[in-house]
Amino acid sequence: MIYFNVPPVAGGEEENIRDAIRSCKISGDGKYTKLCSRWLEKRTGTAKALLTTSCTHATEMAALLLDIKEGDEVIMPSFTFVSTADAFVLRGAKAVFVDIRPDTMNIDETRIEEAITEKTKAIVPVHYAGVPCEMDTIMEIAGRYHLKVVEDAAQGIMSSYKGKTLGTMGDFGCYSFHETKNLSMGEGGALLIKNESDVEQAEIIREKGTNRSKFFRGEVDKYTWVAPGSSYLPSELNAAYLYAQMEKAEEIYNDRMRSWNRYYELLKPLQDEGILELPYIPDECVHNAHMFYIKTADLAERSNLIEFLKSRGIMAVFHYVPLHSSPAGKKYGRFSGNDVYTTGESERLLRLPMFYGLAAGDQEKIADTIYEFYKGR
Ligand SMILES: *Cc1c(COP(=O)(O)O)cnc(C)c1O
């Protein structure tokens, strides 16, 4: 059996967790949370990185910081995970879905402007598969219309666009450390904050609406409730797990990249023959091998291929059901312009097993099985 995903284990996680237990500090914002935040700040160059309980929560924090309210509109792709929309819809906003580009499956930056109304507050580009969106264009539009930008960089750790790390170009950037992501803490995430002026309020929202962070730094002599907030800080146990992976980040990155390139080489002949499509990485982008997908001719062919792979013990999965076609998406969102690519391309996409430590031999077996499937047709 070849699993679709195996959560990363870098070595060192257990030792770190034991260390956290021995230190008698397992709630949030201890040694390991600080090490993780510092790693993120150093690696990305952001003004501030706050570790959170998930990327969903990081995005919720961004929505709170932007004071998103009932009646506001937020522009995003429909081809994304539900959290992208949830965070804003929870605050009463309407999700305005824009079509994707078929080459990267990212939001089509040329379709954003026509989706803007006087109610629009923010644009949320999702860097699908860790491949950057066309950020120069998106930031230029946001600047012209005075809109905020929240990058859903859940899949984007260690990727960059024209040398800039994903999550650092928008006002806020949201990372995920879910077990399916390149670096993991089980459940967890981070909020990257570009503007120093947003940091204090972010710390307050993350700590139940208190100025506890200031208190710990000795900036106030007691802490108190100063604003509405929630609890978005993860336990030290999770941070201890994540930090072990951050220390091995290069090794994890290189291993995934080797697997990604191997898939590409193995399957390229099928693309050359016009049978399959493989991912496309724009020249100005550095990706992180988060995902390897192929695109079949159509939905029926994809379903057959999934079954065929499964019969040979290979787990391959698809996603996403476009949000605008979901029950909540119909209620809380609207599609701007035409769905030229979102539904059609999403129905062709199939994700192949991809994780840290994926064996070359297993990849060869997967490729052989795909060749066998197409030979019989
Ligand atoms: C994984 C993912 C999320 C959610 O991350 P969590 O940490 O599980 O909340 C959000 N958006 C995208 C695009 C994702 O892939």
| Predicted confidence (pLDDT) per residue in 225-253, tens digit | 999 999 999 999 999 999 999 999 999 99
Find out whether the beta carbon of 126 lies less than 6 Å from any atom of ligand 1.
Answer: yes
Q: Is domain 13-246 given the CATH code 3.40.190.10 in the classification? A: no
176 beta partners: 189
Share of residues in the chain with pLDDT > 90 (%):
97
| CATH no. of 249-376 | 3.90.1150.10
Find out whether the beta carbon of 238 lies less than 6 Å from any atom of ligand 1.
Answer: no
How many Å apart are CA 167 and CA 44, to the nearest integer? 8
- Confidence band, pLDDT 50/70/90 cuts, at residue 216: confident
pLDDT recorded at residue 377:
78
Exposed, middle or buried: residue 285 (CB in 10 Å: 0-12, 13-18, 19+)?
buried
Where in the chain do CATH 3.40.640.10 domains reside? 13-246
pLDDT recorded at residue 376:
75
Find out whether the beta carbon of 54 lies less than 6 Å from any atom of ligand 1.
Answer: yes
Nearest to 133 by CA among 111, 118, 115: 111
If you average pLDDT over residues 53-72, what whole number do you get? Answer: 98
pLDDT tens sequence across 8-37:
999 999 999 999 999 999 999 999 999 999
Query: Which ligand 1 atom is nearest residue 54's CA?
Result: 7
How distant, in Å, are the alpha carbons of 71, 137, 150, 152, 219 from that of 144? 22, 11, 16, 21, 38
Distance between Cα 156 and ligand 1 center (Å): 10
Which one of 52, 56, 76 would you pick to mutate in the ligand 1 pocket, going by the greatest count of ligand atoms within 8 A of its CB? Answer: 56
Give the ranges where 233-282 is alpha helix by DSSP (H). Answer: 236-247, 249-272
Find out whether the beta carbon of 81 lies less than 6 Å from any atom of ligand 1.
Answer: yes
Query: Which ligand 1 atom is nearest residue 57's CA?
Result: 9
Q: Give the range among 68-77, 85-94, 184-193, 214-223 with minimum mean pLDDT.
A: 214-223
Where in the chain do CATH 3.90.1150.10 domains reside? 249-376
